[in-house]
Amino acid sequence: MIKLSYNPPSTSLVLWLSLIFLIAPSCKTIKKITNRDTDEFSAAALHQQLIGHQVKAEWLEGKAKIGFEGLGQKVGATASIKLRKDSLLWMNVKKLGFEVARVQVTKDSVYMINRLSNQYLVKDLDYLEKQYNLPADFNTLQALILGNPIFFVKRNMQAENTAEAHHLFAEDAGKSNHFWMLPLNFALTRMSFKDNMANRSLALQLQEYTETPDNQNFSYLRNIDLNSRETGQVNIEIAFSKVVLNEPMAFRFEIPKRYTRVD
């Protein structure tokens, strides 16, 4: 038996797994927010607010329903998700109560076990982007799990302020990045990325914010729309039912010897 274990000291592959496997959204109580004036904010000020209100977590453990529609299929599963910041992403996927897949992503590699076919896969992380023409580095996958902003374009930031939302955006060399935040508490509700040259786009909606025990706002419902030449239109929905932040945990990943490696 091949063992790939990570046992942490007293200290994503959601996209790719969804493209291979994959909801019915769950409900959480939205955190009440207090009133404040919807003043005008500069791009620099909005950028500072966006960074300051992102989820800060060294560890994450959660349970979620994950749904996938695209590539000619529409399927769903439940998942246990674990994250060690800037280090490791782990996922156990079940259907009808039985484990069908287990995934482990490091900064440079992805490992996946397919329980249905007794097969496993090991790839460099950049395989995802090459195969599907989608942004798939570890930091992007981590941000998608945490619900944090993803900056593909950082130059020439601009701002628009309305009663409905603060809008921070940037465009450069055929690429664009957009963020929408609530005027009342700067919660990130939407973000999008588009690369005209590569003909790919990513859009994320974040809903059903709930306050965590350490007074952070966490989005329990995510809707991700992906589009590229290789995949066409793909929709992924992640509905968290339980989230625990900043509690150290162990990660276990073993590949049985009888499993066959596939490319």
Q: In this predicted model, what pLDDT tens digit does every residue of 45-65 receive, in sequence order? A: 999 999 999 999 999 999 999
Give the pair of three-digit tokens for residue 13: 């592959």
Nearest Cα to Cα of residue 142 among 89, 66, 211, 191: 89
Give the pair of three-digit tokens for residue 190: 């939407």
pLDDT score for 134: 67
- The C-alpha atoms of residue 46 and residue 182 are separated, in whole angstroms, by 11
Average pLDDT over residues 218-236: 92
pLDDT score for 132: 67
Parallel, antiparallel or unpaired: strands 254-255 and 260-261: unpaired
How large a percentage of the chain has pLDDT more than 90? 67
Asked if residue 237 lies in contact with residue 23, where contact means CB atoms within 8 angstroms, the answer is yes
Q: Give, in degrees to the nearest 5, the angle at Cα 91 between 70 and 262.
A: 70
- Determine the structural domain holding residue 213 and report its residue range: 2-261
- The C-alpha atoms of residue 181 and residue 164 are separated, in whole angstroms, by 9
- Is the pLDDT assigned to residue 210 strictly greater than 90? yes
- Is the pLDDT assigned to residue 158 strictly greater than 90? yes
- The C-alpha atoms of residue 166 and residue 38 are separated, in whole angstroms, by 9
pLDDT score for 6: 37
How large a percentage of the chain has pLDDT more than 70? 83
Q: pTM, whole model, 2 decimals? A: 0.81
pLDDT, mean over the chain: 84
**CATH code: domain of residue 189:** 2.50.20.10
Q: Where residue 39 falls among pLDDT bands split at 50, 70, 90?
A: low
Tally of domains within the chain:
1
- Is the pLDDT assigned to residue 198 strictly greater than 50? yes
Higher pLDDT, 198 or 4: 198
Higher pLDDT, 252 or 133: 252
- The C-alpha atoms of residue 181 and residue 40 are separated, in whole angstroms, by 13
